[in-house]
Amino acid sequence: MAAQAAATTFNGNLKKALAGLRRINLEGLRWRVFDAKGQVLGRLASQISTVVQGKDKPTYAPNRDDGDMCIVINAKDVCVTGRKLTDKVYYWHTGYIGHLKERTLKDQMAKDPTEVIRKAVLRMLPRNKLRDDRDRKLRIFADSEHPFGDRPLEPYVMPPRNVREMRPRARRALIRAQKKAEEQEQGGSQRKGRKREAKTEIAA
Amino acid sequence: MTRIKRRRRTKISLFASSFRGAHSRLTRTITQQRIRALVSAHRDRDRKKRDFRRLWITRINAVIRGMGVSYSYSRLINNLYKKQLLLNRKILAQIAISNKNCLYMISNEIIK
């Protein structure tokens, strides 16, 4: 009952979430949950792609698809370093001459944040006949609700990583931004400087 | 005469009796496909050794990475050589499939 109630809270993308589940045979697979909140995009996508390929199992075989089902939640909270939020551009060509389209990361996150992670993971999988099947095993959700609550889910613990120490210029900018934020809190005016806020979020 | 040709060709077509479509029915294509099949077999006998070693390495890597922080196949092999343990990748992969904990015990012994 609770599962059904939770499942019907996001009726809009329920169809998309359950799409093609019947095509995936072998329900001896585990369901792993990745929390994308605060994770760097590429590093998260790399781990997801190893799990989806089944490369963490001793029974890996390159000719058959044996990866676990991966559920990614909080896709809108995934981070990128540097200026990628404004500078990373997704290009695609429609086939008509001169129609090279582009869209920045910021716009894509506003439009559909799940596509960012999906593109990242898909481009890390090997380009063979199993790629589409592996794509079907990926379920990405922008917020932290998903309709698979009644399954036995296993949270995936990201391996620990040593974050590089901040470069001196970036560190000075961070300190300046923190001081400015303190002054503004005391002043009580509007908060400016989204980029520096993003840097504090990444460094923390 | 025709007898001799037929005898030679039936011998060849016996080899290709399980091939698909025209490759098992038409004599000229049978001879060609037989040659191709034998060439592939010859080349792949050597490839088989390479492919399986690759597969064993991937499997060992998969299991070993689950062991600890930043432990990998390369470090395992380094430790194996340092301790002069002669287990080959085939056996290690079999151990990894059948009994993961045994492999963990071996690698823990080797790390020291």
Contact B69 A57 (CB under 8 A): no
Q: Is the ipTM above a cut-off of 0.95?
A: no
Residues 6+ apart with CB under 8 A from A91: A100, A101, A102
Written as tens digits, the pLDDT of chain A (204 aa) is 444 444 455 656 777 778 778 788 777 888 999 999 989 999 999 999 999 999 999 999 999 998 999 999 999 999 998 889 999 999 999 999 999 999 999 999 999 999 999 999 999 999 999 999 999 999 999 888 888 888 888 999 888 888 888 889 989 998 999 999 999 988 865 555 555 555 555 544
CB contacts, 8 Å: A60 with chain B: 55, 58-59, 62
Predicted pLDDT of residue A190: 55
Predicted pLDDT of residue A11: 58
Q: Which of residues 138-167 of A touch B (CB under 8 A)?
A: 159-160
Nearest CA in chain A to B96: A58
A164: which 2 tokens?
């590089």
Burial A144-154 (b: 16+ CB within 10 A, else e): eebbbeeeeee
CB contacts, 8 Å: A57 with chain B: 62
Predicted pLDDT of residue A149: 81
CB A147 within 8 A of CB A7: yes
Helix (H/G/I), strand (E/B), else coil: B88: coil
Please tell me what DSSP assigns to residue B104.
Answer: H
Residues 6+ apart with CB under 8 A from B58: A55, A60, A62
Q: How far is CA A201 from CA A77, A196, B23, in A?
A: 11, 9, 65
- CA gap B67, B63 in Å, rounded: 7
Nearest CA in chain B to A50: B62
State the sign of the Cα–Cα–Cα–Cα dihedral B19, B21, B25, B28.
Answer: negative
Q: Which ranges in chain B belong to alpha helices (H)?
A: 2-15, 27-64, 73-82, 89-98, 100-111
For an interface test with B, give the residue of A47, A52, A55, A157 to mutate (most B CBs within 10 A): A55
Q: pLDDT for A114-139, tens place per residue?
A: 999 999 999 999 999 999 999 999 99
Predicted pLDDT of residue A15: 79
CB A72 within 8 A of CB A37: no
Spell out, as residue ranges, where chain B has pLDDT lower than 70. none
Q: What angle do CA A133, A139, A145 make, to 5 degrees?
A: 165
Q: How far is CA A154 from CA A21, A23, A29, in A?
A: 18, 22, 11
Predicted pLDDT of residue A9: 58
DSSP readout, chain A? -HHHHHHGGG-TTHHHHTTTGGG---TT--EEEEE-TT-BHHHHHHHHHHHHHTTTSTT--TTS--PPEEEEE-GGG-B--TTHHHH-EEEEE-SSTT-EEEEEHHHHHHH-HHHHHHHHHHTTS-SSTTHHHHHHTEEE-SSS--S-TTS-EEEPPPPP--PPPPPHHHHHHHHHHHHHHHHHHHHT-----HHHHHHHHHH-
